[in-house]
Chains A and B, each alone.
Chain A
Amino acid sequence: MQIAITSGKGGTGKTTVATSLSKSLAGTRNVYYIDCDVEAPNGHLFLKPKIEFQADAVIQIPSIDQAICSVCGRCVEICQFHALAKTPQEILVFPELCHGCGSCTWNCKTNAIQEIENPIGTIESGVTAEGILFSQGILKISSPMPTPIIRQLRKCPTLSEDTIVILDSPPGASCSVVETLRGCDYAILVTESTPFGIHDLYQILGILQDLRICAGVIINRYDGNSVELEQILAEKNIPVLLTIPFDPLIAAGIAAGGTLIDILPDTKQIFLEMVAQIEMSLRVTQ
């Protein structure tokens, strides 16, 4: 089962929930945590895995053999992303615009294009002290494209049937979030009951509807006043799975690298019950 932790708005507590949930399940279930927030991957700070594997995340970009190239400009016409440009003398490649689709290479009439690997980040895997399998993607500084790294991360190794995969999503509601959510069985939306949280939640709900993924909500930094949010969720038939109160002690504990179950050990049981509830609701809808 794959559960994505997402939010729309940034800083609502996605990583806190994802790492706490992973640690709660460890020991009773096989858990695989994937940090898909490749622009700001923070899960490792809380799960402290021992990294055993590291590889470049790459996309295939064109390399043009100027000796063979006839400068016909066919590749420039074909490229949808303006990653190639034609000058009177040669074809120029702009690697930061290239999506790595391969189209220019296949369509070159003189076979002057070869693909080379362009590293856009790193992928790391390992295991934590509790036995949680861990992977994260790290976008290279100044590289604009997180989505291919997420795609590579999502190509999971073969896992045992009962493994719970926890995907820690990036904030926002653009293509990188879609790449994280695609193929998930369930989404936990971590939000806060403010106009910001609600506005951004709507964006995510739009994506979940397109992808037909069931969801539940965790209200973080709960201040006892969430009438508007709960009304919206009731209308959309989305359950509130949990509320987490605002508490300076929790904030300080997380800042120091703790998860909720380190700070408040009782939450482990709450998370386990939450997962049981999610599994049950999925069985009902299937």
Chain B
Amino acid sequence: MNDQRNKTPQLIILSGKGGTGKTSISAGLVHLWHQQNSTGRLTVVDADVDAANLNLLLNSETLAKHEFWSSSCAQIDPENCAGCGDCIAVCRYDAIFSDSPEAVTRRVDPIACDGCAACVYACGRKAIRMISQLDGHWLHSRGDYGMLFHAELLPGKENSGKLVSLIKQKAQKWAEVVNSPLMIIDGPPGIGCPVISACSGTDLALLITEPGLAGLHDLQRIYATLKHFKIPAILCINKADLYPQGTLELESYAQHESIKLVTKIPFDPNVHQAVRAGMPLTAYAPTSAAAQSVITIMDEVLRWMASRA
């Protein structure tokens, strides 16, 4: 129980749909925290490991880069392969093939291989073994506004969920050591494996959506996912004035589900320009309409933290 009380609270930013502004808002919150509470050591995690962009706004300096070895891939020893085809028969991923109809030995397509090792056990000549794969790197960086834990999945690799779990674990350890008051997690899009890993252990989700049929549809799916894992959520509608009818529909959905709507962010070209400048919006254009909305979100986060204490 004691552990639970001392655990750093975790806020995750999610959306379902991609490109709704998760990273811009995350960077704004990180910057505001630093501005308002420069002694508190924030823990920041970028959990979108196959499109990790938060670092581009936080201007951080990498302290350490570690290899992430996780998946494995079958390899057939051509000297030993008799071409019986038993491996092909068990492979459900169509990953084993012959170079030509005349070729005796088989080969593995590393891109198709799922790493299940069924072929290894099926091969009577023990000609197949599993080779570990470097799937990416995880990094720990000191930014202008706090410690950032992030990762780079190598293109096309698997186990993004495991990589997310790993950086969250590392972040949590650091948070404990420095008694960090808050962890902010910039989440991945979608509702699958990396999202589920990123959500694990979080205390509040800030959902960023945008008006329109797609925004609403994906909001419903991410909210259902959060409900399944019993994670409370608050909502923010980005670019709310671009399609007012859609904003009304989102508001009515939020009301129906009793999700607190924290703020509506108007479309603001400063958001785009801040990304181009590589700065958090709240630092780039502190008086802009969108930055004011991020301040409203920060106030809500602070209230939530106070209510937990």
Binding site for B on A (CB under 8 A): 8-12, 15, 37, 39-40, 42, 45-46, 78, 80-81, 99-103, 106-107, 139, 141-146, 151, 170-178, 182, 194-196, 199-200, 203-207, 210-211, 221, 223, 248, 251-252, 254-257
Contacts and interface: CB of A to CB of B under 8 A. Distances in A.
A10 B18 contact: yes
B23 interface: yes
B242 A248 contact: yes
Given A99-B116, A146-B190, A195-B276, 13 more contacts: A39-B192, A103-B90, A144-B196, A174-B194, A178-B111, A195-B275, A196-B56, A196-B275, A203-B50, A203-B51, A252-B242, A252-B243, A255-B243
13 contacts: A10-B18, A10-B19, A39-B192, A39-B221, A40-B214, A40-B217, A78-B121, A99-B114, A106-B121, A151-B93, A194-B275, A199-B53, A207-B155
B212 interface: yes
Question: What are the 3 tightest A-B residue pairs by CB atom distance, in nearest-first order?
Answer: A10-B18, A11-B19, A255-B212
B121 A107 contact: yes
Nearest to A8: B51
A102 B118 CA distance: 7
Nearest to A37: B190
A37 B155 CA distance: 18
A143 B56 CA distance: 31
B18 A255 contact: no
B189 interface: yes
Interface residues of B, number: 67
Contact of B50 (A42, A99, A173, A255): A173
Contact of B242 (A10, A80, A170, A251): A251
Nearest to B243: A255
Contacts of B158: 174-175
Contacts, number: 195
A98 to B, nearest CB: 10
Contact of B17 (A42, A195, A210, A257): A42
Nearest to B242: A251
Contacts of A42: 17, 213-214, 217-218
Nearest to B160: A174
A145 B188 CA distance: 15
Contacts of A12: 18-19
B121 A9 contact: no
A197 to B, nearest CB: 9
Contacts of B239: 251
Contact of B155 (A78, A143, A206, A251): A206
B92 A102 contact: yes
B243 A39 contact: no
A227 to B, nearest CB: 12
Contacts of B23: 196
Nearest to A193: B276
Contacts of B122: 106
A190 B49 CA distance: 20
Interface in B188-236: 188-196, 210-215, 217-218, 221, 224-225, 228-229
Contacts of A142: 196, 225, 228-229
A198 B190 CA distance: 21
A45 B218 CA distance: 11
Contacts of B56: 195-196, 199
A156 B34 CA distance: 52
Interface string B14-29: 0011111001000000
A159 B195 CA distance: 35
B245 interface: yes
Contacts of B92: 100-102
A99 B17 CA distance: 26
B153 A174 contact: yes
A207 B191 contact: no
Contacts of B190: 37, 39-40, 146, 170-172
Contact of B189 (A40, A46, A101): A40
Contact of A103 (B53, B121, B153): B121
Interface in B60-112: 72, 90, 92-93, 111-112
A255 B117 contact: no
Nearest to B21: A11
B245 A248 contact: no
Contact of B118 (A106, A143, A173, A210): A106
A268 B53 CA distance: 34
Nearest to B17: A40
B115 interface: yes
A247 B195 CA distance: 31
B67 to A, nearest CB: 17
A173 B51 contact: yes
Contact of A255 (B196, B215, B224, B228): B215
A204 to B, nearest CB: 7
Nearest to A38: B192
Contacts of A255: 210-215, 242-243, 246
B272 interface: yes
B181 interface: no
A174 B16 contact: no
Contacts of A200: 51, 53
Given A200-B51, A255-B212, A102 B90 contact: yes
B304 interface: no
